[in-house]
Amino acid sequence: MSTVLETPARAVEPAHPSRSWAPVFALARFEARELRMTIPLFGLSILYVAWIVWDTTQRQGDYPILQDVDRATPGMPLLIGLAVMLGVNRAVLRSRRCDTDRHFDVLVVEPWRRTVAHALSIVPAVLFTAVCVLVQFIWAALKPGAAGHGSPAELAVGPLTVLLFGMLGVLLARLFRSVFAAPVILVLLLFGMLFVAPSSGSNWTSWLGPVVTESGSNPLPSDLLERPAAWHALYLVGLGLTLAVLAVLVSGGRTTVVKAAIAGSVALTVVGVVGQSAGTPAGSTPARDRATNAPEKVQTCLKRGGSTYCAFPEWTGRTADWAEVVDRVQNLAGGSAGGERLTVRQRIDATYGLTSDTLISPSTTPGQVTVGTSWGGNRVPEFAAAVASVLVAGNEKAGSSVCDARMVTIMWLALGGESDPMTALRNVRLDDSVSGSAIVLSPTESMSMSAEQTRIVVELLKKPRYSVAGKVKAKWTELTSPRTTTARVAELLGVPAADKSAAKAEADGDSCAE
Amino acid sequence: MTVMTRALLTPVLRTLPWRALAGGGATALLLAGIPRMLSGAPDPWLGLISLRGAALALALGLAFLLDDPARHITSAVPVRRPLRVGLRVALALPGAALCWTAAVFLVPEEARPPVGALTLEAIATAVFALASAALIIQRSTATEPGVAVSTGLLSTAAAAFLLLPDGWALLVSPDDPRWTDTHERWAMLLTVALAVGTRACVEPLRAWRLGSFRGRAQQAAPL
């Protein structure tokens, strides 16, 4: 408020045209406060903070992969940027709307300095976004299950998007003297971005958009991402500066500094575009090939209990979680399987980069279990099912083609040690059911269980663990033989037989006819 | 009343924000025309996006419909607010309908999403914009709510696109199993917007206003 009173007082000394930047900063401070108080920005900021809290406290976010977390941050800043752009656009045009333009002609602050002040008023919003992004990332990184490395360039995309949109708002206000121009151009830009550059990252034009999300179902080690994140950040900085300096230029700032600044920022943008247009490689690179086909060359192996756990360097901290599941499953197994030395190996298919969604083929090495790069939630019972199938069938390839009564043993081993086995059963089955036949997910190829097998497994899971565990250990040889029928397994484990017709149909199904 | 309406017709026609309306309409047609301009086989997803863009652009234009810089001067005319607002809406309606029809036909037939459902979305968006504008006018001293409404509309649309949880989704594609449920929600939204809009068109009886402090802030703002 005081600035409003001060400035006219300075204006009465035309003999010494004040070249001080103090009024510019004062105006920037005032405009920043006005911007903060606009309803859309205020509302969206609250929404943003709420979303961060909600998103980070979600249970499936318990084992975050930091190189994926950083890439997921710029979604909400896009919204903030949108509100900032429209807000600042309105602020620049306020004097025109209120018809006070001619009053400003008597002030020492020339129009181009006012533009600078408006551009500076965006800075607090950018800083706010940066803080939010940092909090989101650090919160995820502090979780005990966090793995991987974040990239500062990826984290910078969110705040830089806000900066870019804000500068665009200032420039549009200086180019088009109508409040209607900004929303319409924004709509055109947003939809144009959807049309021209689907944000898959394979094309160099898609990297011209502010946010390039590439997401696949399987996280990759950070050194295999091959995203030109730093070049992209440079491009965003350059573009934001270019827009700001253009706005200054349009509103009459023709000093040498401004001209130099525009040359510099355009150069930055061009360097960024050239640097990023290599984009993400669509095909394979030597590093990706090595990680896909010969992971043992890059992995670190740790011994825990009797088993060996081989993980990519960023995931070695997670071996303890895997060992816990392996121990739980192995404790329930009988015969030699109870003491078998397993090798748990992390495998990925990085050939086609992030966006590919390929299934990993099951390994044929005896006693080797595959584990993926994500963990937590459904991934835990899926891994347990894979461990159980290797214990029962010998290797993963054989385990994934089991369709006889051994499936009952596999599923009980996998889930019997869980604290909430019925939920785990629901999670591990593709259709989230606990009756009827279904596909059972695993880190590699899925397995299938029939309706009768499901019924027996559900009955077993309802019984106390120790009563079933004794029977499983005692009858281990017969339970893991491919020749044992489902009815016999039910009898061995003390589950009442199903009615005749169902049992008959099941006996036919036991032969793996499909 | 008819005499009054006829007398009002010309001045209202002249004070309509033609540039904003024309801009919105032109943007809508431009967006709807994009799938035809692109080479290659028509993509249904592109058709859906472009029609949604057209609906949003049209609603943005309509958000400025109730802008009237002379509102405080003309508030003394012996015509009640519903008629004044209704006249504006009635004058803009044929143009908007024509524009939407043109936009629908601009999208190639193979790429065109279900027209009825998309029209429902477009109408709901437009009525939402108009109702917000009417509400701002009724509850504040603002004469030109267009900017605020367009900002709010864009923010809401972007937030709805990015943030709505699965169970509440509004923007899904026709092959999604939630398509019907979503359009029930759109119809609900339209009903609510219509009710609020109608309520906002009546003359406020009490001087309960949002904008009293904002008006003061604006007076203090210029530097």
pLDDT one-digit tens code per residue, B16-68: 999 999 999 999 999 998 888 887 777 888 889 899 999 999 999 999 999 98
Nearest to A79 among B30, B146, B155 (CB): B155
CB contact under 8 A, B56 and A187: yes
Instruction: Answer yes or no: is pLDDT of B211 > 60.
Output: no
In chain A, residues with a C-beta closer than 8 Å to the C-beta of B144 are: 97
> Where in the sequence is the domain holding A479, given as residue range(s)?
288-509
Are residues A50 and A185 located together in one domain of the fold?
yes
- Side-chain half-sphere CA neighbours of A100 within 13 A: 14
Nearest to B34 among A43, A98, A195 (CB): A195
- What pLDDT does residue B216 have? 46
Task: Kindly give, in sequence order, each residue whose CB lies less than 8 Å from that of residue A486, ignoring residues fewer than 6 positions away.
Answer: A404, A405, A408, A450, A452, A453, A456, A503, A506, A507, A510
- Set of chain B residues whose Cβ sits within 8 Å of the Cβ of A54: none
What residues in B contact A43, CB-CB < 8 Å?
155
Both tokens of residue A127? Answer: 């800083």
- Which tokens sit at A316? 């070695």
Establish if A254 belongs to a structural domain: no
A332 and A424 part of one domain: yes
Residue A252: inside a domain, yes or no? no
C-alpha–C-alpha distance, residues A252 and A116, integer Å: 11
Q: Which of A109, A100, A97, A113 is nearest to A6 (CA)?
A: A109
* Cβ within 8 Å, pair B155-A44: yes
Percent of chain B with pLDDT over 90: 45
Domain count, chain A: 2
> Distance between CA atoms of B58 and B150, rounded to whole angstroms?
11
Tell whether A314 and A443 lie within a shared domain: yes
First to last CA, chain A: 80
Query: Best residue in B147, B210, B216 to probe A by mutation, most A CBs within 10 Å?
Result: B147
A293 and A209 belong to one structural domain? no
Do residues A59 and A192 both lie within one domain? yes
Q: Tell me the helix, strand and coil percentages in chain B, rounded to 5.
A: 75, 0, 25
A219 within some domain: no
Residues B129-142, mean pLDDT to the nearest whole number = 90
DSSP one-letter string for B121-166 = HHHHHHHHHHHHHHHHHHHSS-S-THHHHHHHHHHHHHHHHHH--G
Question: CA triplet B183, B184, B188: central angle to 5 degrees?
Answer: 110
What is the structure's pLDDT at B217? 46
The reply to whether A45 touches chain B by the CB within 8 Å rule is no
pLDDT value, residue B220: 46
Residue A153 lies in a domain: yes
What are the tens digits of pLDDT across the range A410-458? 888 888 888 888 888 888 888 888 888 888 888 888 888 888 888 888 8
- Rounded to 5°, the CA angle B92-B95-B98 comes to 145
The domain ranges of chain B are: 2-211
Assess A78–B contact: CB distance below 8 Å, yes or no: yes
Report the residue of B50, B141, B154, B163 to disrupt the A interface, i.e. the one with the largest count of A CBs within 10 Å: B154
Candidate from A7, A39, A51 with C-beta closest to B223 = A7
* C-alpha–C-alpha distance, residues A125 and A122, integer Å: 5
Nearest to B57 among A79, A94, A187 (CB): A187
Of A103, A120, A179, A190, which to mutate for an interface test with B (greatest number of B Cβ within 10 Å)? Answer: A179
Residue A499 resides in a domain: yes
What residues of chain A score a pLDDT lower than 50? 1-2, 11-14, 199, 511, 513-514
Residue pLDDT, tens place only, A460-499: 888 888 888 888 888 888 888 888 888 888 888 888 877 6
Residue A386 resides in a domain = yes
Q: A207: distance to nearest CA of chain B, Å?
A: 20
Classify residue A470: in a domain, yes or no.
Answer: yes
A86 interfaces chain B, CB cutoff of 8 Å: yes
Last residue of a domain, which of A214, A237, A254?
A214
Element (H, E) at A371: strand A368-371
Cα–Cα–Cα angle for A364, A368, A372, rounded to 5 degrees: 100
A278, part of any domain: no
